[in-house]
Structure 1
């Protein structure tokens, strides 16, 4: 496949929500897509429903915290398309719970997916970006990665997003010498299926959900990062659900 003039973008958590909205936007902009998800059947359904050409899409079903699977999937992408220009780290989980009622299994799964997964994906693509002298990594973060979670709320999720902010800042300093931009998009109240684990604890009505951000709003912000000039580095975008207040 000739991708000399076609950007190649890798998206995790691409089977639904923000990841799928990003895939649609990037496909419309002419990108070749490398789509990762731990839900293989869901990912294949989403690709089939989108009607994307098999020549322009490569899928991989794996846990983003599985180091061997990550390395193999990125190697397959480079073998197929010749490079990876953009990495968009989206895959994540969230569970309700404070310090006294968060199970260790939930704590570890949240940190593995939301933070270790971002690290492993970044580590896998950066050597290729370094060799190319260019590239962009976009990490999805949260307002709860800038301030602590409320009592009894999503402590593990909040801690993981503080970690994403630290990872992003560290990668910015390390990758700038290679011509690679690293950015975080700090999100507030996005209406996607990501909230499914919260439904036993809190449910929002249609009017409240209409005031939240949409997955498409997040895709707009990511496209702004990817389309920025070589001179400009939007290191952090804070996307507020300003109608919520």
Structure 2
């Protein structure tokens, strides 16, 4: 199966280095957090025929959330290829979306960006267990306008093993949980991560799970200086 491969990044030291890294990994797109210089990134990556998506875990406070939505709208006007929102449950943080009453804000945020996307991807990512993990998060309002759903089917992170540490099992669980959360199965594209703690065989197992489920879109979170060369090589070879 031919895959679209999207490499996520939080921050990078030099845009030119990240362009070279993504090009060597033979990805078709990059997802860059919107506190980076997306204007420059769009120009640089489009020159390499690599798509650029913005992403962010936005504040659950209306003024700050809609400021992020306005930033996304402006970036679509500059050639952004899509946007992914990452609502999380973080108790006590301004970006804690796992609270009652946030449905109207989630709907307003999502519709604003989806309208600007005008058919380009608007995606939602969060914990792979979905509503089973964050019961008060306004899933329906975020999902309503989403064209792609991206559960974080990570099998190993900085804090240790996730689930059984099995990429194929976590992939299957992500599909199950996000369908139960209200996602349309054909839109669910589970993510791999955290690739700094992954092994090459696990990258291959993740891709095999996608292929077995007829999913041609792979997402890798996240590019860091500690990703092993063999893992980069495995991603490039897919």
Common fold, TM-score beyond 0.5? no
TM-score by length of 1: 0.37
TM-score by length of 2: 0.38
By percentage of residues, which structure has more helix? 1
